[in-house]
Chains A and B, each alone.
Chain A
């Protein structure tokens, strides 16, 4: 049982490049989400999903796309990276019926030059 895994751990992009941050969980959790963490800002919700085929926007969705084709995977896509997207990105999952135990991945540190 690996929990929530994220790849890559580090990434450097040039402005305008695209990439996908991967997130997978093996706990059969319905709910998955993406956060970004910036200094002095705490964690802010980007997008979330309550099940395969269902996604919704969070607090800061602009510049990011998501899809949920399986229960296990929830990739985050940056179509045209901007320096403002330099951040640490965390994926999290939990059972839909639970409001508390949200398991976080180890994070992806992204730098956009």
Chain B
């Protein structure tokens, strides 16, 4: 099956630092999504991207749809303790299937 590779696998940062993570695929996607999952909860959508090159922000979060359509990036500025969690990318080609990345675990040290 289709696998999206996310990196880094985990991050430990100081509160106030900026965070960058990315997601790559061997296939082209038409939609890229970024989710956050808190412990014991289901994923929650953060940002959706629909066009190659698109740059979209949601508060301190900014995500970009890569020009090649095979990658996407998520940045978090000025991290705070509640940013802790696992961040997943997801891609959709056509139809009703989304393919999820392997996740980036973020720990913010106060």
Contacts and interface: CB of A to CB of B under 8 A. Distances in A.
Contacts of B90: 43
Interface residues of A, number: 27
Scoring A40, A42, A50, A100 by chain B CB atoms within 10 A of each residue's CB, the highest score goes to A42
A33 B96 CA distance: 10
Contacts of B42: 4, 90, 92, 103-107
Interface in B5-57: 6, 31, 33, 40-45, 48, 50
Contacts of A45: 97-99
Main secondary structure of the interface of A (DSSP, over half): strand
A4 B44 CA distance: 12
A42 B88 contact: yes
Contact of B31 (A35, A99, A106): A99
Contacts of A92: 42
Interface stretch (B63-71, B76-84, B100-108): B100-108
Nearest to A100: B48
Contacts of B88: 42-43
Nearest to B103: A42
A44 B103 CA distance: 12
Given A59-B97, A60-B1, A100-B48, A106 B40 contact: yes
Interface residues of B, number: 26
A41 interface: yes
A80 B73 CA distance: 41
Given A100-B45, A104-B42, A104-B43, A59 B2 contact: yes
A74 interface: no
Contacts of B92: 99
A26 to B, nearest CB: 16
B99 to A, nearest CB: 8
Nearest to A107: B42
B45 A42 contact: no
B31 A100 contact: yes
